[in-house]
Structure 1
Amino acid sequence: MSRYDLQGRRDLEDRLRKTVDPKRGQIPMFTYSDPGVYELELERLFGQTWQFVGHVSEIPNPGSFITRAMAEESVIVGRGDDSVVRVFLNSCRHRGMRLACEDFGEVNNWRCPYHGFTYGSKGDFLGTFMGAPFEKSAYPEGLNRDALHLVEARCETYQGLIFATWAKEGPSLDSHLGNVKWYLDLLVGRAEMEVVGHPERWVVPTNWRLPAENFASDAYHTATAHSYLARMGIVKGADFGRDGYHVDVGGGHGLGVGVHFDEQSYFPAELAGEYEQRLDQGQLDTLARIKNMHGNVFPNLSFLIPNFVEVDGQRVSGSMLRIWQPAGPNKTQVWSWHFVEKSAPEWWKKLGRRMYTQTFSASGMFDQDDTENWELQTRNSDAALYRGEELMLHYGMGLDLPTLDATEFPGPGDVYDGKFSEAAGRTYYKVWLDHILNGKR
């Protein structure tokens, strides 16, 4: 049940307008746990913006499908018998039962397990084998079949990544992604990529924004939360997270590009030809210097090229995508994908999966550090709901730092020397607030 009536919601909007100040780097702690804020997010953010739901390699054939979520709503991501990728609300139009109860599969049509209403792979209710059981006796007056089409989201793809939105009109996916596309190319566009296995899922008792903003703009925590890496000799020093660039690409997207100073690229030489076919020179030069790259596509799609680590005499990393799926103001379901180049040598695939499992899977050593921090932050936010005064958090790192020009870094956006900055975090909250207030700022 909503915590706020209509007047209460207006008061909440006014409170947000007065206290959330991204320009000065001030964010009130109550926003992470307040049920009213969460309701506004579901309605005005997740109900309107583009959300990542899968990768084309997960649905390779006509009839292939996966079940995913857009905020708290279950959706079917399927490839129709015409090979077109579509996204449907996973809900029968008769009584609202889920049509697909499996995580993935391959079907000719969708048949409701409750009453047997059957839909085509395009979501239609029109074909020879579509309809309702005993339809002539149950509905002698007939059915309006056009009106029973499955609820369909707008769906577009970029570099094999499938996005969907409930907004019938509004910005295209290309417009939504904007300058972050240049950096996504380094992750999933440098070669033909494929998902390894199926995405892992687990639940963390945290607000979904805490990990999203962490990937967007927080390289600073690595010196403390992951300092043991230096003591183990995996990295050269506790400040390993600073070397590189902090990038505020606009639109709420943000990232950090960590660089090395060796003469050769850490990526497999066997893939150099494919990289050259797909990337421009600036992207190739950046890829050759990458030792890690972390970021977030607004609102909740995080991506990562983890630090390269030497294993069995080979430098290796493992590309990752991560969704922070909201399941309440202080509960998040994590979805985690490991990606690899389809044509990669076997040693890169094998060691990359091993490193992904050891570092950023559900049992990975990095996730054990991070999730504890996010959980305890959320507990403090829960308690802050009952304080008599606002508890303001500080997002002011790098407020006065100058940006670099194109001669110093080839990628688009506001680029800063060194990854210790919160510029992208401030922009993240500006865009977030614009959505939450429906442009009423």
Structure 2
Amino acid sequence: MTHVAINVEERLRATVRPETGEIPLFTYADPEVYKLELERIFGRVWLFVAHESELEEEGAFVVRQMGEQSVIVARGDDGEIRVFLNACRHRGMKLTCEDRGVTSYWRCPYHGFTFANHGNFMGTPFERAAYPPDGLDRERLRLIEARCDSYAGLIFATWTREGEGPSLPDFLGDMRWYLDIFAGRARMELLGEAQRWVVPSSWRLPSENFASDAYHTATAHAFLSRLGLVRSVDFGKDGYHVDAGGHGLGMGVHDDDPGSYFPDELEAEYRSRLDDDQLALLHRIKNFHGNVFPNLSFLIPNFIPVDGRLVTGMMLRVWQPMGPDRMQAWSWFLVEKDAPEWWKTLGRRMYVQTFSSGGMFDQDDTEVWEAQTAVAVAARSRSDEVMLDYTMGLDAEPLTDFPGPGTVYAGKFSEAAGRSYYRRWLDLLLEEGR
């Protein structure tokens, strides 16, 4: 029997084996798998949609994606942040085609149906003449609203109703402790607009990369050593690997004591927001990368000298699905709001040079993800399963004395978080453990 004749759920159940480190190649570019992802992952889990710094003013809004669905993330005139499907309730036209703005209402460009920035239907031209005798039912035409919550300034939304799925804190679980260090250690802001570019790649490849893969740095990013920016190509090896239940991260640390690489001017704010263990870890960080399931990645890159100062260009990124073999990267520069100007200016310069649409690291990674996806597309016609190896660190023992939560391993060369990522992914696709 060919794979075409086999139900995709049966095929996934038979071939995806995270606990033994076996993941089939077909999953990266299979249209039927992608349909399940849109319905059972992007249609149900908590998804990052914006940062609070983008919506400080009443009436401010940004347009984002939840899966392939366009949404408006807005702070209403009442000060509350809400997330709406970007669709007029009359004929489904996008209410706004702008990326961002400040407004008290949106007016559909097709027929003029108008909605307040808190979601209520306000009216339409010639309403009494077109809909006699009493006009339209305003409550029935309210914009479709997603459930919304935030953590450490990061705004998430889900299409599940209250009680149908986990709360945001429960969904983030052990990852919250690490998000405190990355995004909650100070008041943060996104500087500049998101850089966006399309890649012919599965959205999952970069997501799992940031969650679990420090091993590729010695080969794909060997230029750092050749340019003398790090001591050797094994710069991605030392530190910790964290399995946070589908979320994952790696932390590179310095074991000697050069002091914190972060600005002294921010130390007081760090101390006010972090506990002693989190603060001690922050002071040791050389690099810090992770992924919140399914597709929100974050990064503190290796500190490198820029104009004589050690800086890092912190990145927040979403891998936006556009098809089984196509995605759009959304990338922001994240920085402490009250940081000294030199930290912001030099950090942003480093971010653009390293992790941006034309950055040195992104050129390395994008070429790999594109080639991996092309191989997966070509493998659709094979009659056998091509199994990929995710066994790195399979027999490693976790640490028992690490201060943070999750399952933590010494050294960053591990695929434990990748295996956990695929266990969560598979359970959601097969609707198991819900």
Which TM-score band (shorter chain)?
over 0.9
Q: Deviations over 1:348-407 (max 9, x none)?
A: 01100000000001110000000000000000000110001000000000000011112x
Provide the residue aligned with 2:295 in structure 1.
Answer: 300
Provide the residue aligned with 2:28 in structure 1.
Answer: 32
| Gap change, CA 1:195 and 1:421, over 3 Å in 2 | same
Query: Does residue 236 in structure 1 map to residue 231 in structure 2?
Result: yes
Provide the residue aligned with 2:119 in structure 1.
Answer: 123
Aligned partner of 1:280 among 271, 275, 298 = 275
Provide the residue aligned with 2:250 in structure 1.
Answer: 256
Distance 2:144 2:225 in 1: 51
Provide the residue aligned with 2:109 in structure 1.
Answer: 113
SS of the equivalent of 2:101 reads strand
Distance 1:253 1:401 in 2: 19
Q: Which sits farther off after the overlay, 136-145 or 23-32?
A: 136-145
Post-superposition shift, 1:261?
2.7
Post-superposition shift, 1:262?
3.6
Distance 1:91 1:10 in 2: 36
Distance 1:262 1:320 in 2: 26
Distance 1:167 1:145 in 2: 23
SS of the equivalent of 1:412 reads coil
Provide the residue aligned with 2:140 in structure 1.
Answer: 147
Distance 2:282 2:352 in 1: 23
Letter in 2 for 1:261: D
Distance 1:429 1:392 in 2: 14
Identity %: 64
Q: How many residues align?
A: 428
Provide the residue aligned with 1:87 in structure 2.
Answer: 83
Q: Where do residues 198-347 of structure 1 align in structure 2 (5 Å cutoff)?
A: 198-250=193-245, 252-263=246-257, 264-347=259-342
Q: Deviations over 1:158-208 (max 9, x none)?
A: 111110000112100010001101111111101000110111111010000
Letter in 2 for 1:394: D
Distance 1:95 1:377 in 2: 40
Distance 1:337 1:229 in 2: 22
Distance 1:422 1:231 in 2: 27
Provide the residue aligned with 1:162 in structure 2.
Answer: 155
Post-superposition shift, 1:10?
7.2
Provide the residue aligned with 1:4 in structure 2.
Answer: none
Query: Does residue 15 in structure 1 map to residue 7 in structure 2?
Result: no
RMSD: 1.3
Provide the residue aligned with 1:394 in structure 2.
Answer: 389
SS of the equivalent of 1:358 reads helix
Provide the residue aligned with 1:69 in structure 2.
Answer: 65
Q: Deviations over 1:199-230 (max 9, x none)?
A: 11110100000000000000000000001111
| Gap change, CA 1:70 and 1:349, over 3 Å in 2 | same
SS of the equivalent of 2:7 reads helix
Distance 2:183 2:384 in 1: 45
Letter in 1 for 2:396: L
| Gap change, CA 1:9 and 1:70, over 3 Å in 2 | farther
Q: Does the 8 Å CA contact 1:9/1:36 hold for their aligned counterparts? A: no
SS of the equivalent of 1:198 reads strand
Q: Does the 8 Å CA contact 1:320/1:339 hold for their aligned counterparts? A: yes
Provide the residue aligned with 1:359 in structure 2.
Answer: 354
Distance 1:8 1:59 in 2: 47
Distance 2:313 2:332 in 1: 10
Distance 2:87 2:7 in 1: 34
SS of the equivalent of 1:439 reads coil
Distance 1:107 1:319 in 2: 30
Aligned partner of 1:46 among 42, 48, 73 = 42
Letter in 2 for 1:341: E
Aligned partner of 1:373 among 368, 371, 374 = 368
Distance 1:355 1:335 in 2: 17
Q: Deviations over 1:216-258 (max 9, x none)?
A: 00000000000111111001100000010000011x1000000
| Gap change, CA 1:158 and 1:152, over 3 Å in 2 | same
Provide the residue aligned with 2:413 in structure 1.
Answer: 420
SS of the equivalent of 2:123 reads coil
Provide the residue aligned with 2:54 in structure 1.
Answer: 58
Distance 2:404 2:282 in 1: 11
Q: Does the 8 Å CA contact 1:52/1:161 hold for their aligned counterparts? A: yes
| Gap change, CA 1:9 and 1:335, over 3 Å in 2 | farther
Distance 1:10 1:294 in 2: 38
Q: Where do residues 90-101 of structure 1 align in structure 2 (5 Å cutoff)?
A: 90-101=86-97
Distance 2:6 2:132 in 1: 49
Q: Does the 8 Å CA contact 1:254/1:295 hold for their aligned counterparts? A: yes
Q: Structure 1 segments of 4 or more deviating over 2 A?
A: 7-10
Q: Does the 8 Å CA contact 1:55/1:160 hold for their aligned counterparts? A: yes
Letter in 1 for 2:423: K
Q: Deviations over 1:128-166 (max 9, x none)?
A: xx1111000000043121110000000001111110000
Letter in 2 for 1:333: Q
SS of the equivalent of 1:155 reads strand
Letter in 2 for 1:158: Y
Provide the residue aligned with 1:137 in structure 2.
Answer: 129
| Gap change, CA 1:336 and 1:115, over 3 Å in 2 | same
Distance 2:306 2:37 in 1: 43
Letter in 1 for 2:132: P
